[in-house]
Structure 1
Amino acid sequence: MGKARTHVDERLSLGGFIDEAATARVSLDEKGTVTGWNAGAERLLGYGAAEMVGRGGAVLLADGFPTGTESAGTESAGTESAGTSAEEFIRSLATLPRWNGRMALRHRDGRRVEVPVLAHHRTLVTGKTDWLMVSPLTGTGPEPEDDRLTGWSFAQTPCCTMALYDTGLRLRRANGDMERAIALTEGEMRGLRVSEIVVHADSDKTERAMARVLETGEPQYLENYLRVEGESREHAWSCYLAPLGDEDGRTHGVVLSAHDITQQYGARQRLQLINTASTRIGTTLDVRLTAQELADVAVPAVADFVAVDLLVSLDDGHEPAFGSWSGTPHDAMQLRRVAHQSVHENVPEAAVGLGETDVHPAGSPFAQCLATGRAALYPLTGPAFAAWAARNARRAARIQAFGFHSVMLVPLRARGAILGMATFVRHQRPEPFERDDLLLAEEITARAAVCVDNARRYTRERATAVTLQRSLLPQRLPRQSALEVAHRYLPADGTAGVGGDWFDVIPLSGARVALVVGDVVGHGIHASATMGRLRTAVRTLADVDLPPDELLTHLDDLVAHLADSDASDTLDHNGDLGHHGEFGATCLYAVYDPVARRCTLAGAGHPAPAVVTTDGTVHLLPMPTGPPLGLGGLPFEATEIDVPEGTLLVLYTNGLIEARGPGSDSGPDRLGQVLAQPAVSLDALCDTVLGAMLSGRPTDDIALLVARTRALDADHVATLDVPADPAMVAGARRFAADRLGEWGLDEAAYVTELVVSELVTNAIRHAEPPVQLRLILDRTLICEVSDAGSTAPHLRRARTYDEGGRGLMLVAQLTQAWGTRHTALGKTIWAQQALPAP
């Protein structure tokens, strides 16, 4: 049928086809008054329209209220006695949309006429309601022509493929649509089974359904998807199988009615694929995996080969240009292959390998699509693609070898920016891409583009956070003699993001060393920046030589101040507090003294360290753990333990013991089992611990610090108790000179005697006894003077006529460093000087 015949011509008159008088039509208002009367009613009852319009309809009833059937599931009006008025009859039907039944009416000549009536309750254009009653005058019984119409309707129905099968499942009749669909005549198919007419797996399924119809007498429904002879593509068919039976209920055959639902099936498949894409694409925050998920979803559902390429300009982390590609159709374009997939194993169609770049010249289909930002559908035989393919011999060979015939180019656009291109190709499926395929490809590519952009942004942010985190961690451990140290840091996986775990090794006065491990709440750049601030704060407080518990107290105050500062900085323009995440941290601070061979520790909500003795015994140090930093109000307590030389101190963050999740063979127990095994070195031990504790990429940052203690024996330490008498200063100088002579450091004697003289004199004059002098030979020469006083000396500049005030100035000028540390019994003034070159 031509396009001009697809719509009904509203100007066409029905008068040449319809005999209005063949139906009696009467309309009644809500009171039962006749408002309309046609020629058919006059032919039925003998009354003219002039006689009936305006009169009550009750005069037409021969036996009173009729009986009938209501429609639309409403409650029946029931039956009443004869003599009921038309008004009451109409009112009784007021709630019904339709009524039908038989009415006994009175003819004008007085005879009784019983006719079927169909009454419609309708609303007029004026808004009023009335009843339209119709009754047929002709065609109420079967006619000879009906059988011929039935036969013609079966054979010529254009909207349904129909066939009749006998009880042997062999075809007896087929209509014209069936003949066109199968490309066989009824005579050529008569006597054959379905599986013999169409050789396909779905034919066997249809025959089994037909057998169930004959066996049970119940209709069956199924869908088939196949391509018959003469068709260029597969079609979807909705098949309905119903029994053909006689008046006694015996089944004599099966009728097959099939509708071509290819379009509906395709739409359903596209919706299903879109739903699949929404669940399968974007499961990770990895750019390449996300692109690969797009290719995996599209093959083979949409295309036989799919490639995903991203702009090379994105490699350096720059933001893509907003709108279409920043180039023009006259600019060459570089794309990097990040994913591809094929119906063939190992993707042999790919002319570009994963990770490789491809340059598309100016004017090529790729450059044009990116410049316009619009998807396009191309036949491979078109001049645009032919010229593009001819520029690359490898690509041209692939196209020729696999028979590429249809391609779609869909730009990856996210948040208004172009990221790259997805290419869809068909070579196995014979049918070319259509407009619906392009719309589907655009839909799933748009979803994938957003996921790729999210992954790209996250990857960039994570790389920034990792770089910041690693730059804030120690780049190399300081030189010191008290401990042999190995460490590891692992950032969290891509889902959790980089956290704020850190570690540090800080040399202190008196050859002591501080070990620090901490964990900042949260992930990302903010956590890394907070970690850097806390690490700097710990180093600053360590320089003051505070005991571990006091250091954590000051650090706790600092974290609270930082939290308040960040909260005030995130107030929005309405004065409301903006969300900046939690602010808090845990920390473990330990100080090891190689002279006393003791370790003092204090923790703030941090896991207890593990101690491995020289005989291989492992235990978690039982120590009071204070609250996490930032809560405030609760004290921190220090624990002091003896640490023989060769003992291992293992400090870590909770990411290590939580890596395997809860369980009897995880966490601290598992860590203890690993540490009990001998290792050739501390670095090997770190690797063994991580390998045993991790089942994959960590979900939280991990910082691990392993230290083996060393000791300074008596040959490297000299101690002298100095009586509180200024005359004993000379003896202290001689003691220092003698010991330096024994150590072979005569060149340092002059400066050392000067330092000893100044520090001991100050202690005797301004402090309280007892006074003790200690010399420590380590990587530097350390001179310490301890007393029971609590007042620390201060460096000041002496005026011209002052008799004192120049001693500490000399000490500061002649030594590398000097300082004061407070102890439980008083204080210690120390000075450190470099050893002479050997």
Structure 2
Amino acid sequence: MRDATPIGGAPGVPPDPPDSATAVVDARGVVTGWSVGAERLLGYPRHEALGSPAGHLIASGEGSGDGLAALSESGTTAVLRHRDGRPVEVRVRAYPSVDHEGRAQRLLVVTPPEQPSPALVTADEAFAQCRLPLMVYDPALRAVRASAGAVRELGLREERMCGRRVTDILPAHLCHRVEDGMARVLVTGEPEQFHVRGSARPDAPERVWSVTVAPIVTPAGQIRHAEVSALDVTEQYLARERLALLNDISARVGSTLDVMRTAQEMADVTVERLADFVTIDLLDSLFRGVEPKPSATGMVPLRRAGQRSVLPGAPEALIQPGDVDDYPESAPPVRCMATGRSSLHGAQDESIRDWQRADPDRAGVVSRLGIHSIMVVPLRARGITLGVAVLVRHRREDPFTHDDLLLAEEIAARTAVAVDNARRYTLERGTALALQRSLLPSRPAAQQAVEVAHRYRPARTRAGLGGDWFDVIPLSGARVALVVGDVVGHGLRASATMGRLRTAVRTLADVELPADELLTHLDDLVTLLAAEEDGTADHEPDPEVPTSLIATCLYVVYDPVSRRCTAASAGHPPPAVVRPEGAAEFVDVPPGPPLGVGGLPFETAEWELPPDSLLALYTDGLVQDTAHDLGSGLEQLLQCLGHAGSRPLETVCDELIRTLLPASPQDDVALLLARTRMLDADRVATWDLPSDPALVADARARVLARLEAWGLREAAFVAELVVSELVTNAIRYGQPPIRLRLIRGTTLICEVSDGSGTAPHLRRARTYDEGGRGLLLIAQLARRWGTRHHAGGKTIWAEIELTERDR
């Protein structure tokens, strides 16, 4: 475009906005200049526009080239023709100028027509029409302005609110927090934000508001007023509250594998946050771990597993946890159990009124406490309805909503899974416990050597029961074997192994093996069992279950005649001894390797015990737990035993369990206490016999005389036959020295010892045999008989039954 200087204007300064379309027209009306803006506005490129008459740019009917003379600096509205033929309404200003040669020309400036400016909205109008609850308070905490949203929510006109304090406008439970916030903001100048919950007016529902209190300052920075705005965040708040409740349900419900505790945890978490009173009733069979079955009658017996109320003492409850409640057939809980569907009720619903008519006691509670909203929700797991939860409201005025019902269903579903896990654990643990109890002695065998008391406490962990065991085994010669053992690990495998080992110990004890030899044979058995398990394993091992078969065992034999104890240990904690006039101490029994390890021999320890001494055998679960380590546990054991004195053994057992065990032991515990007895000298008779068959009659005479002195005339015939046979065999087949001993206890024990290690065998004599009938005769007449070996030879013994009067 050519340079143009407007007449009377400053050179180079455009009189209009720089983005206007401009053109230069000479005195003949020919276009001599064409800007990019003109090309953009009318579509004519520069090479087409230059040299063409300007009149061609004017739409028909709007004038011609002579019409350009009417254009002026003030601006004229014109209709130009676009290159594509459409009209373009513009405003044209014409400025006279000259070109570089001094010839007259005009500068045309074309702009779109000016649009009328919209009317401005005042700040007062914007505030008055604000839909958000917004109020302004002066330094005296009196209302100055109120928005339309505040008028709507508070139900008061702005004129009535102005000049009044918050305490005169808002309910009492909301006003104090808002007013305290304004007082702080007017002092500090720092805005505050907090949540309040309640109704803005008596007839409005309860809501949650996010309240912001901010200062209004002058340009000089002086705090003049306080602005209070409120945003209804009820839905967001309730959604977060529901998520938090579900999170707590997942974290806190099912913390233990106990049905009652699991149900009570649901009630504890739900009350106050969702309901005012909650009850959880479960089918009675769940508490025994039995699979629930539908009821054949209309009445459904449910056991109260948990309940919680916002009121002290739970006045809404008619029964206590653990009691059984029979719901009538018309009650919503019964329909809930039958259909597996939840329901939402008001106090005036027909179903609730039918329930009240059938159950007057509950009707009285509903009327007295003003219960107005009820939810009945089933507890279902694996497609089985396990119980029902009833949630009610009476203190909170707002009723349950459909969203509350969905939340309660989710809570009940999660609780039901935990309850079912607890039920299944109860069933499995009951089965394992029944197995273990069947493998343990129900009561110690009768014997006269010691007075015994025992305790067995299974572990309260998810790992299951362990393999601890104890036993009291009567031996020949009025002796007794005290056994305590522990199979490493938990579960049915440990319990089954324990039963096999206990049976093996009784079998080996019955053949009168010494303590060290018995443990050697038991070690071989454990090694064999481990090899069998390795050979039959057809599945991947559980990393949490020990794969090796290891056990510990302590075997103690006490003889009430000699008052001596013999013990051997296979990796087991040592026995504790309390003598009548001494402190408690541990016996130094050589600790052999645990059973199943092998490689080292077992050794025995012998010591003498006076009568009324106390022996304590136990497993490591008694002295080692999370509450204390092994060293402190052993020390506490000695302290408790030191105060045992002559107290009953049952009392001592209870005190040890109460002192040393936590509420939920992590390992099984077996405890066996034995107070020693001594057979008086007048109850034992011993004779050394020469190896002469002619003196058998003399031995019979001595026995008869002693039985006469003991007043055992009825046992004399059998005793004479048994002594005659045993002494004859010892003289004929044994070696000196020969010794005859009678022991009077609950039975009459006849023992004949000799220096030979050859044991007799029972056999059936043929018709014409002259011998071989002696042991058969003894087996028929005696209660039991047997042979035991010792370092000096062997002893053949027989027990003769005594009458009740002679014992």
Query: Normalised by the size of structure 1, how large is the TM-score?
Result: 0.77
Q: Distance in 2 between matches of 1:418 and 1:722?
A: 80
| CA deviation string 1:422-445 (max 9, x = no partner) | 001112212111011111111222
| Pairs within 5 Å for 1:565-580 | 565-566=532-533, 571-572=538-539, 576-577=540-541
Kept in 2: contact 1:660–1:666 (CA 8 A): no
Please give the secondary structure, in 2, of the residue aligned with 1:366: helix
Counterpart check, 1:797 vs 2:790: no
What is the aligned counterpart of 1:234 among 206, 214, 229? 206
| Pairs within 5 Å for 1:374-385 | 374-385=341-352
Q: Distance in 2 between matches of 1:540 and 1:52?
A: 120
Kept in 2: contact 1:285–1:455 (CA 8 A): yes
Letter paired with 1:546: L
Please give the secondary structure, in 1, of the residue aligned with 2:40: coil
Kept in 1: contact 2:288–2:426 (CA 8 A): no
Aligned to 2:568: 602
Aligned to 1:514: 481
Aligned to 2:375: 408
Aligned to 1:264: 236
Q: Distance in 2 between matches of 1:796 and 1:52?
A: 138
What is the aligned counterpart of 1:444 among 387, 406, 411? 411
Alpha carbons of structure 1 residues 684 and 358: separation in structure 2 relative to 1, 3 Å = closer
Aligned to 1:701: 668
Q: Distance in 2 between matches of 1:518 and 1:207?
A: 73
Deviation at 1:765, TM superposition (A): 4.4
Q: Distance in 1 between matches of 2:504 and 2:40?
A: 110
Aligned to 2:517: 550
Q: State which drifts further: 735-744 or 263-272.
A: 735-744
What is the aligned counterpart of 2:620 among 640, 654, 659? 654
Q: Distance in 2 between matches of 1:668 and 1:138?
A: 105
Alpha carbons of structure 1 residues 800 and 579: separation in structure 2 relative to 1, 3 Å = farther
Aligned to 2:397: 430
Letter paired with 2:601: P
Q: State which drifts further: 476-485 or 384-393.
A: 476-485
Aligned to 2:748: 781
Aligned to 2:683: 716
Please give the secondary structure, in 1, of the residue aligned with 2:615: strand
Q: Specify every segment of 5 or more residues in structure 1 that has no aligned partner in the other structure, as ranges.
A: 1-23, 25-41, 54-106, 111-135
| CA deviation string 1:307-350 (max 9, x = no partner) | 111124545643025xxxx369x944332323222222222222
Kept in 2: contact 1:660–1:667 (CA 8 A): no
Please give the secondary structure, in 2, of the residue aligned with 1:47: helix
| CA deviation string 1:710-751 (max 9, x = no partner) | 223443333333444555555544544454444444554554
Aligned to 1:47: 40
Q: State which drifts further: 260-269 or 229-238.
A: 229-238
Q: Distance in 2 between matches of 1:660 and 1:561?
A: 34
Kept in 2: contact 1:486–1:686 (CA 8 A): yes
| Pairs within 5 Å for 1:288-687 | 288-314=260-286, 317-321=289-293, 326=294, 331-493=298-460, 498-566=465-533, 571-572=538-539, 576-577=540-541, 581-582=545-546, 583-658=549-624, 661-662=627-628, 666-677=632-643, 678-687=645-654
Deviation at 1:179, TM superposition (A): 0.8
| Pairs within 5 Å for 1:89-238 | 145-148=119-122, 150-158=123-131, 160-238=132-210
Q: Distance in 1 between matches of 2:135 and 2:120?
A: 20
Kept in 1: contact 2:690–2:738 (CA 8 A): yes
Q: Distance in 2 between matches of 1:670 and 1:139?
A: 102
Aligned to 2:783: 816
Please give the secondary structure, in 1, of the residue aligned with 2:311: coil
Deviation at 1:408, TM superposition (A): 0.6
Please give the secondary structure, in 1, of the residue aligned with 2:569: strand
Alpha carbons of structure 1 residues 232 and 359: separation in structure 2 relative to 1, 3 Å = farther
Alpha carbons of structure 1 residues 137 and 530: separation in structure 2 relative to 1, 3 Å = farther
Q: Distance in 2 between matches of 1:49 and 1:256?
A: 56
Q: Distance in 2 between matches of 1:342 and 1:139?
A: 74
Aligned to 1:62: none
Q: Distance in 2 between matches of 1:828 and 1:376?
A: 81
Q: Distance in 1 between matches of 2:757 and 2:521?
A: 20
Kept in 1: contact 2:622–2:660 (CA 8 A): yes
| CA deviation string 1:782-810 (max 9, x = no partner) | 22232333332222223445454333223
Q: Distance in 1 between matches of 2:320 and 2:139?
A: 60
Alpha carbons of structure 1 residues 243 and 681: separation in structure 2 relative to 1, 3 Å = closer
Alpha carbons of structure 1 residues 235 and 472: separation in structure 2 relative to 1, 3 Å = same
What is the aligned counterpart of 2:250 among 247, 257, 278? 278
Kept in 2: contact 1:305–1:341 (CA 8 A): yes
Please give the secondary structure, in 1, of the residue aligned with 2:606: strand
Kept in 1: contact 2:305–2:321 (CA 8 A): yes
Query: Normalised by the size of structure 2, how large is the TM-score?
Result: 0.79
Please give the secondary structure, in 1, of the residue aligned with 2:204: coil
Kept in 1: contact 2:328–2:358 (CA 8 A): no
Alpha carbons of structure 1 residues 218 and 139: separation in structure 2 relative to 1, 3 Å = farther
What is the aligned counterpart of 1:253 among 225, 231, 234? 225
Please give the secondary structure, in 2, of the residue aligned with 1:146: coil
Deviation at 1:661, TM superposition (A): 2.9
Q: Distance in 1 between matches of 2:747 and 2:618?
A: 30
Kept in 2: contact 1:224–1:238 (CA 8 A): yes
Letter paired with 1:225: R
Alpha carbons of structure 1 residues 414 and 806: separation in structure 2 relative to 1, 3 Å = same
Alpha carbons of structure 1 residues 761 and 579: separation in structure 2 relative to 1, 3 Å = farther
Q: State which drifts further: 446-455 or 663-672.
A: 663-672
Q: Distance in 1 between matches of 2:726 and 2:39?
A: 141
Please give the secondary structure, in 1, of the residue aligned with 2:120: helix
Q: Distance in 1 between matches of 2:454 and 2:113?
A: 103
Fraction of identical pairs, as percent: 52
Deviation at 1:202, TM superposition (A): 4.3
Alpha carbons of structure 1 residues 568 and 362: separation in structure 2 relative to 1, 3 Å = farther
Letter paired with 1:378: H
| CA deviation string 1:22-51 (max 9, x = no partner) | xx9xxxxxxxxxxxxxxxxx9966514856
Letter paired with 2:264: Q
Please give the secondary structure, in 2, of the residue aligned with 1:521: strand
Letter paired with 1:350: A
| CA deviation string 1:469-524 (max 9, x = no partner) | 44433333333222222333344447775444332221111111111122333445
Q: State which drifts further: 446-455 or 242-251.
A: 242-251
Q: State which drifts further: 417-426 or 371-380.
A: 371-380
Q: Distance in 1 between matches of 2:400 and 2:112?
A: 57
Kept in 1: contact 2:726–2:752 (CA 8 A): yes
Alpha carbons of structure 1 residues 728 and 145: separation in structure 2 relative to 1, 3 Å = same
Q: Distance in 2 between matches of 1:45 and 1:181?
A: 58
Alpha carbons of structure 1 residues 45 and 210: separation in structure 2 relative to 1, 3 Å = farther
Kept in 2: contact 1:169–1:207 (CA 8 A): yes
Kept in 1: contact 2:196–2:208 (CA 8 A): yes
Please give the secondary structure, in 2, of the residue aligned with 1:581: coil
Q: Distance in 2 between matches of 1:610 and 1:393?
A: 63
